[in-house]
Structure 1
């Protein structure tokens, strides 16, 4: 048995244990960086640091504060906040108290927040600010189990010291408690068992109420050790963490960091990513495909705005990047060296000086790799970034599998696949193509829903992911679609909409979101939402300047522009996959209207329901109408 396997099998019972070990090993090393707005209120943020020792002081105070409030082992403490350093400290505090964190997205409305707090029987809510507090106060009569709300940012909040406390109040209570009971936190951590509940994450289902996924401490302990065992991250790394920590993808990154001991810069403000990257200069970061699509569209729009010659250079460089990435990956697969033919390497060198270097600078200049997950990245976009020196390692997992089940192995990564299973995770493909997983990362089940649990989790531990995929002979997994999203046309042909949508995103630099429709129809159609900055930049150059997004989308010139890209897409598709008709949406899809999940995944039933009239209009007059 390898040392790696031994390490994963002989893991400690919890990440709380790993945190105590990390603090003991490297108390003075930098753990977290976080932004503080400039004192003047204008200008760039000031970034502060916490060492592992300083972080531990706050974590232990939060843990002891919760113990003082009467929170017992496995009792739920809900956390409704955007991604910030206090989220991580609070989550660790909950774990070190032996309690369990219920994660709530800050965008969740009052009704659904109340459902999650009630269903999880959360005793305490740690709320980011007055807005999150208001949701709990509004539904307080429906939440008999909720005894306290702890508020992080107290602007506009009246603290009564009992139902409503500030985070500072909680930490002060914790410090006082630790003076009387100095070993309290260590005792709580020492009592944690691997099967004890650590986290309850509610999946933002596309239909009906969300389900609470029960993830015990052992899931996170395994994830921490398995991530470290991949060798993808080292103690010298600087991670930029902006993903929603209420989502399993963001949360798993905090476990891996504790085991490896590197620095994490934390700021969940998506509108600050471009500004933060040159300041943080990360060596790695995780993101969802939408972020890479936005960067790609932004780079293309900037080149287009620079005039015809600049845009031609960009298009040429993009093609060279893709060709180079395909050649080097192919060569690495065959020979173990990432080299390309001489002529292509020469072109790549020129393109690097003209285009790619600027893209790497925009990412901070030090980026070794990005991890992409949560949805499929269009391979052509992946190849573009790979050729430009931004290596995107796609991974795969679900809330039910603690996020990270597969990841591409460093230099040997293959664009278009999600790589190989993490050490200790088993995979098999069922007869109908469904991906089944088994291993220490798999959930205990759905909270209070034994029937729903038995639908996806077999008695021998195999979990049905609901995704369709293929395994290569050497163990690389390619996801082809969601089982339930596969379209069967009235002609009996199966179509994977995500595959067609991904190809369109690679072809059209103006697209933000696209939904391909065609189930039980005799041809495919698409609803297309355009990227506002890219579209308005184009509009200004084509006599449509000054018009609103909705007006530009409705203009015949815009429809003609997008028709050109649809035609290009169709050239590379099978006849039954082609998009015969499309409609441009009057606004982009978003989380607020419930069309995207907080991790920016498309909620197909919601979009199809909302734009039913546009869909019917496209089929009106066809033979099936």
Structure 2
């Protein structure tokens, strides 16, 4: 048996047990950094630290406080908060109490929050602030199982017999621990690997979300398997901003506990650019939309600098892509990333002019980024790879505890999601669907056995709903969601995500794009533009002072986008080409339910909302 297999097979039953081991091994080492905004509201944040020992004090107090409230093993404690250090401490506290965390996105409205709290039969809600508390108060009559709400940020909150603050919970827990000093060790020692640890509700595109049941063993396996890839070490500094209510954010906390590195936690997306030079991370996980925004921002800035500067950027971007493709191809063939001398010389010049500044903006120490949740356009991936920002695409689902595949360090291949994590099996079904089996796969959907049997076979194979192909040496490439594949009325199949990704690499102003064409005789697109980038473009094209809606309605904007659509079409098969498009009057967003909190497109919602524009694009065609 290999060392990796031994590491994974001898895993403890829970991450709670791993946490106790980590605290005992390195109590004084730094565990978490978190920002404290200045009291005046002006100026930079002050970053504070918690050692593993200090984090444990708070985690154990939260756990004991929940036990004192009556939370029993596997009973649910809901967590409705943005990404912040208290989210991690509370989640670990819930697990150390033997309870199970129900994650709730802070953007979730009162109706859906109430459904999740009710369906999960959550006993306690840990709410971030007064706004999250208000949703529970509004729906209190529908939540008979909910005995207490604990509020993290007490500003504007009145406590009573139903509402308490996190500080109060910790105080009560610390006092309870004084009376029962062995409590946490006993609770954690009693956790079995098949005991429920987390209930994550998938943001379904239709109907109510389904609760995905993830037992303690899923997270213990993930912790060991991530460490076994060698992608992270105890010397790393991770910048964690992803929503922790999402499985991708949550899994990053497991790997950290196993290796013991520092994690800087701040979920404010508008602070990413400010935080990177301060945190100086060595690795960071993100969704493709972030890399697209950075790419578009850099391109827009270069354009602002005048034609000469923009020409240099375009040349450097092309060199980066050429360099990345050549080095990855050579690595695949020979095991070294060498490139031809002439290309290396051009790359050196481009590095001095463009890439070095980009790396500085990421903090200057970034070894790798992990990208997941949806596909990254390969042309954008190659650009960053050539600029020295290595984006390792990974793949997984809520139902597989997030990480099933990840690209191996130096041997990563842009456009693929890499190889399976140690211990995970994969096969491709006859229709191209990816099937997965392993210790990361869920137990099933909460209280929905019929939905579970639709996707989970009795021998453990999980049907992902994604279409993909495996290379002879085991790299997986995702081509599309099975249900998203478009079949035109001419019988041709189109993978919309592939076309959408190519357009994002071509057009620096796009924010979101939806390709439509199922049962139609040609493909069309709904396009939303990035507000910051398009407002800047508008200033230079006679549209200064206009609103976003006015800019996208202007003929010169439509003409500009049309040029990029024609450029896209040149690289597509005839049946994939976009014959018509419409610009949307506003960008898609989470609040309108058009994209998920992890920034995935909800196609049915967008198509319903803009049905009139879709119908307009097919009006007068032979099928209309």
Q: TM-score, normalised by structure 2?
A: 1.00
* Pairing 1:352–2:361 present: no
SS in 2 for 1:412: coil
* Pairing 1:125–2:128 present: no
Give the C-alpha shift of residue 205 in structure 1: 0.4
Q: Distance in 1 between matches of 2:158 and 2:171?
A: 17
Partner of 1:527: 526
**Counterparts of 1:261-272 in structure 2 under 5 Å?**
261-272=260-271
**Counterparts of 1:3-14 in structure 2 under 5 Å?**
3-14=3-14
**Counterparts of 1:356-395 in structure 2 under 5 Å?**
356-395=355-394
**Counterparts of 1:291-330 in structure 2 under 5 Å?**
291-330=290-329
Partner of 1:2: 2
Q: Which runs of 5+ in 2 are unaligned?
A: none
Give the C-alpha shift of residue 68 in structure 1: 0.4
Partner of 1:456: 455
Partner of 1:155: 155
Partner of 2:146: 146
* Pairing 1:222–2:221 present: yes
Give the C-alpha shift of residue 465 in structure 1: 0.1
Q: Distance in 2 between matches of 1:142 and 1:339?
A: 64
Partner of 2:401: 402
Q: Distance in 1 between matches of 2:164 and 2:389?
A: 44
Give the C-alpha shift of residue 531 in structure 1: 0.4
Give the C-alpha shift of residue 339 in structure 1: 1.1
Q: Deviations over 1:297-351 (max 9, x none)?
A: 0000000000000000000000000000000000000000011100000000000
Q: Which runs of 5+ in 1 are unaligned?
A: none
Q: Deviations over 1:262-285 (max 9, x none)?
A: 000000000000000000000000
Give the C-alpha shift of residue 462 in structure 1: 0.1
SS in 2 for 1:303: helix
Q: Distance in 2 between matches of 1:313 and 1:534?
A: 19
Partner of 1:67: 67
SS in 1 for 2:410: helix
Partner of 1:135: 135
Give the C-alpha shift of residue 545 in structure 1: 0.5
Q: Deviations over 1:43-88 (max 9, x none)?
A: 0000000000000000000000000000000000000000000000
**Counterparts of 1:104-253 in structure 2 under 5 Å?**
104-160=104-160, 162-253=161-252
Q: Distance in 1 between matches of 2:338 and 2:18?
A: 40
Give the C-alpha shift of residue 38 in structure 1: 1.3
Q: Distance in 2 between matches of 1:433 and 1:93?
A: 42
Give the C-alpha shift of residue 468 in structure 1: 0.1
Partner of 1:443: 442
Partner of 2:549: 550
Q: Where do 4+ consecutive residues of structure 1 move more than 6 Å?
A: none
Q: TM-score, normalised by structure 1?
A: 1.00
Q: Distance in 2 between matches of 1:406 and 1:532?
A: 34
Q: Distance in 1 between matches of 2:315 and 2:564?
A: 18
Partner of 1:539: 538
Partner of 1:488: 487
Give the C-alpha shift of residue 40 in structure 1: 2.8
Q: Distance in 2 between matches of 1:202 and 1:227?
A: 23
Partner of 2:595: 596
Q: Distance in 1 between matches of 2:3 and 2:524?
A: 53
SS in 2 for 1:411: coil
Q: Distance in 1 between matches of 2:172 and 2:484?
A: 50
Q: Distance in 1 between matches of 2:360 and 2:520?
A: 47
How many residues are treated as equivalent by the alignment? 624
Partner of 2:504: 505
Q: Distance in 2 between matches of 1:41 and 1:119?
A: 39
SS in 2 for 1:525: strand
- RMSD across aligned C-alpha pairs, in angstroms? 0.4
Q: Distance in 2 between matches of 1:233 and 1:370?
A: 11
Partner of 1:423: 422
* Pairing 1:51–2:66 present: no
Give the C-alpha shift of residue 612 in structure 1: 0.1
SS in 2 for 1:410: coil
Q: Distance in 2 between matches of 1:308 and 1:536?
A: 18
Partner of 1:29: 29
